[in-house]
């Protein structure tokens, strides 16, 4: 299966939500958002989740091995590094609140 390429999409248009770490005082430990492919038969179940190495508040997850470095404090300005790779489905960057395919 080849990876889907999409036109640039604003994160705010993909129903993003923050998540914390269960049982800990954390805020903005990561985000969940609709897959940029926006297909009803999305190979990734329609959602992508990303955990941060530097949450907005509180500790980073010790469970996830893949953590992204975050800058920005809201969905409109969020930038992540490295790129987001939903292997075999979608690969792209989140920069200044916009998702762009690689």
pTM given for the model: 0.84
Please state, in angstroms and rounded to a whole number, the distance separating the CA atoms of residues 76 and 70. Answer: 13
Task: Provide the residue ranges of all domains of the chain, joining segments of one domain with +.
Answer: 9-101
What does the DSSP assignment read for 24-91? S--B-SEEEEE-TT--TT-TTTTEEEEEBSS-SBSPPPSS-S--BEEE-SSTTT-EEES-EEETTTEE
Please state, in angstroms and rounded to a whole number, the distance separating the CA atoms of residues 47 and 97. Answer: 17
pLDDT in tens, the chain (102 residues): 568 899 999 999 999 999 876 655 557 888 999 999 988 888 778 999 998 888 887 766 666 566 899 999 899 999 999 999 988 889 999 999 999 999
């Amino acid at each position: 299966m080849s990876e889907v390429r999409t036109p640039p999409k604003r994160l705010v248009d993909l129903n993003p939500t923050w998540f914390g770490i269960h049982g800990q005082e954390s805020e903005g430990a990561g985000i969940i958002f609709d897959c940029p492919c926006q297909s009803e038969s999305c190979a990734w179940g329609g959602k992508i989740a990303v955990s941060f190495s530097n949450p907005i508040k509180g500790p980073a997850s010790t469970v996830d091995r893949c953590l992204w470095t975050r800058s920005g404090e809201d969905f409109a300005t969020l930038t992540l590094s490295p790129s987001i790779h939903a292997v075999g489905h979608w690969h792209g960057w989140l920069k200044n609140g916009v998702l762009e395919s690689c």
